[in-house]
Structure 1
C-alpha cells in the first residue's frame, strides 16, 4: 500500500524549495550522525581499537567516511536552503542554530555538516556555536534512550505481552541466540542482541577487504536472519505493538511512544508556534510580547542526533513503515528529516511538510523526498495543515517536563 501510494503521488523526484502558493518561513532539521566505528565489539571480535583508530577516532567514534557524509549532506542543504535564498549566504548564528547530543560523533557530524553548508572562504574558518546539554543521559529531547525510570518499567511490562513473547521466546529466536553466543564468546539475548548485527555492519562497511577473513563464521544469510529479528525488536523498543494493552487497560506501546516521541514533538511544534506568533504579530503591527528577538531572527534549527531519534519522529507521524520502502530502510548514517513550516499566501494559514533524505536509499540516495502525502490525515497532499501536526503533538504531549514525567510510576502495574 505504501509503495503504491508513493508512486501515485509521484514524490520520487527532486523537490523545489519554493512553491507558488506558499512561503517557506522556518525549517527544523534532524539527522543521524555519520558513519561510526562499532560501539560494542563482542568478546571474540578480531577487530581491535587500533583498527578503528586507523579510520577515525576509535571505538564508537565518527570515521573519516562519516565526516565526508555530513559534508556532503551539508552541501545538499546549502543547495536547498542557501542557494535558493531562504538562508543567508554568510553564516549568522542568530539565523542558523545547531544542537547536538553530548557525543563526539554527533558533535563532529554537526561541524562537518556546517562546513558543507558554509565552506571556508579565503582559508578563513567560521566557528560554529553548538547547543549541547552537558549530561547525555538527561537529554530526553534529542536522545530517546535518556535516563527515564518510567520508560524502563514500561519496557519491562511489555515483555509480558504475547506479541513480544511470540518473537523472543520462539524456538528459532532461541536457536539463533544460542548460535550467536557461541561465535561471539558471550551470552546474546534480546536486550543486547542489536549490538552484534550493528558491529558486523560497521566492520563489513569499513573493512571490506579483511572482514570475511577475520569473521569466518559470517554469512549473508545469517546477517539477513539477524536483521529480520532486529527489525522486530526495534519496533518493540519503539513501542510499536499491535495489541499493547494490559489488564489495567494501560496502552503500554502508546506510553512508551509518549516518552520517546513526546519531548521531541513538543520541542519542534512549540518552536513552530513561537515562530508563527512572531509572523502574525508582525503582520498586525509590531511584534507581540511573546515574540522574542531570538525567535524572530531564527530560520533554521538543526538537531544532530541518532537513528532512534529519527525513527521516533517517523513513528509519531505514522510513518514507521517507511523503513520497509525503497526510499526507506532503517535511518542510515547521515539520514535526515526536515520539518518545513509554510504560510499559504491566499489565506495566511500555516502548513508544513516533512522531507526525508536517506543515503542508503536504493532509489535515489542524494535526493530529498516529500513524505507529507504519506502522513495519515494529510490526504495525500504535498502540504499539510499545521492542525494535523498539532493533533500529533496533543496525542504524545506528556503535559509536564519530561524530567518529572520520567519519575511518575504510580499508575504502572509493578
Structure 2
C-alpha cells in the first residue's frame, strides 16, 4: 500500500493553489515543501483486497495444485542433493532459531537476516558472514525452483510450464485482459463496456517481490530478478506499455 501511495503521489503532484480543490484545505492535512510553499498530498483512492483471497497478486496463495507440484520438486535429485550439501547449515540454523529449517522455509531466515543487515541490526548469536553468504546463495537456487526455473523434468512434469502458470498466470492474464480491452475500445469506443477504458492511461498493481518473480517466470525469463539472481529489490517495478505503430498494429513494450 505504501508503494502504491508513493507512486500516486508522484503521478499527481499538487500546487499550493490547489488547496481546497484537489486536497483538503485544513491545517492537519499532510504537506510537503515545494519552492518554499506548503503543498498538500493529493488523496488518490487505492483499492485492495485481503492477501488470503488475492489470487492475482499473491503467488503463495493456498493452492492444492501448487502444493502438489512443490511436493514433487522436493522428490527430485536436485532438491535431495542440495539438501545434503547444506545439511550442516540447516542443522545449525535449526538449533539457532528453535524451528526446523529446511530448504523449503530457508527464505524465512534469509529475509530476516537481510532486513536486519539493511537496518544495521545485530544478528542473533551464531550467525556469521560466511553463513549469511551460504544462506543467500542457497536461497537464490530455491527461489528459482519456487518459480519453476532451472529444474529438470520429474515424473513427466515440466516444472517450467506448470509452476509459472499457477504463480504468475493470473497476473499475466489480468494484464493481457486490460490490454485487449483497451485495444477493443480504441477500435470501438462507443461500446457500453468502454466508459472506463476509453480514458484509461495507467493501471497499477502494487504487491511484492514474489509477485514480480512469478510474473518474470511466465514471461519465460531465465532469472527471478529480470537479469539477476535473487528476488527483486525494494521499489522494483515492471512496466508493460501498449504502443500503436503508424500502420495501425499494436505491440507491447516490457521494461524493468
TM-score over 0.5 for the alignment?
A: yes
TM band (smaller chain): 0.7 to 0.9
5 Å-filtered alignment, 1:28-47, equals none
Distance 1:182 1:245, change over 3 A: closer
Cα distance in 1 between the residues matched to 2:241 and 2:6: 22
Whether 1:126 and 2:42 are equivalent positions in the alignment is yes
The residue matched to 1:352 in structure 2 has which SS?
strand
SS in 2 for 1:305: coil
Asked whether the 8 Å contact 1:341–1:352 carries over to 2, the reply is yes
- Is 2:196 aligned against 1:302? no
Hey, what's the Cα distance between the residues in 2 that align with 1:164 and 1:302? 36
TM-score normalised to structure 1 length: 0.53
Q: Does 1:189 align with 2:102?
A: yes
**Deviations for 1:201-226, whole angstroms, at most 9, x for unmatched residues?**
101111x2x52xx5443332221111
Larger relative contact order, structure 1 or 2 (CA cutoff 8 Å, min sep 6): 1
Task: Assess if the C-alpha contact under 8 Å between 1:261 and 1:312 holds in 2.
Answer: yes
Distance 2:182 2:195 in 1: 11
The superposition leaves residues 228-283 of structure 1 with CA deviations (integer Å, 9 ceiling, x where unpaired) of 1101111111122432231xx343442221111211111001110111111123xx
Q: Partner of 1:261 in structure 2?
A: 168
Structure 2 Cα separation of the partners of residues 150 and 290 of structure 1: 37
| The one of 63, 68, 71 aligned to 1:148 | 63
Distance across 2 between alignment mates of 1:289 and 1:315: 35
Gap change, CA 1:245 and 1:188, over 3 Å in 2: closer
Q: Is the 8 A contact 1:339 1:352 kept in 2?
A: yes
Relative to structure 1, the CA distance from residue 193 to residue 322 in structure 2 (aligned partners, 3 Å threshold; closer, same or farther) is closer
| Structure 2 counterpart of 1:220 | 129
Structure 2: segments with no counterpart, 5+ residues? 17-38
Aligned-residue offset at 1:132: 1.1
Q: Give the secondary structure class of the aligned counterpart of 2:238.
A: strand
1:332 to 224, 233, 241: 233
**Would the aligned equivalents of 1:277 and 1:291 in 2 still touch at CA under 8 Å?**
no
CA RMSD of aligned residues (A): 2.1
In structure 1, the gaps of 5 or more residues are: 1-106, 282-286, 357-414
Following TM superposition, by how much is the alpha carbon of 1:112 offset from its aligned partner in structure 2, in angstroms? 2.1
Q: Name 1:200's counterpart in structure 2.
A: 113
Correspondences of 1:66-215 after superposition (within 5 Å) = 107-122=1-16, 123-133=39-49, 135-168=50-83, 170=84, 172-206=85-119, 208=120, 210-211=121-122, 215=124
Compared with structure 1, are the counterparts of its residues 341 and 353 closer, same or farther at alpha carbon in structure 2 (3 Å cutoff)?
A: same
The question of whether the paired residues in 1 share the 8 Å contact of 2:216 and 2:226 is answered with no
Alpha-carbon distance between aligned partners in 1 of 2:192 and 2:75, rounded to the nearest angstrom: 47
Indicate if the aligned counterparts of 1:343 and 1:350 stay in contact, CA closer than 8 A.
Answer: yes
Aligned: 1:319 with 2:235: no
TM-score scaled by structure 2?
0.83
Q: CA deviation at 1:288?
A: 5.0
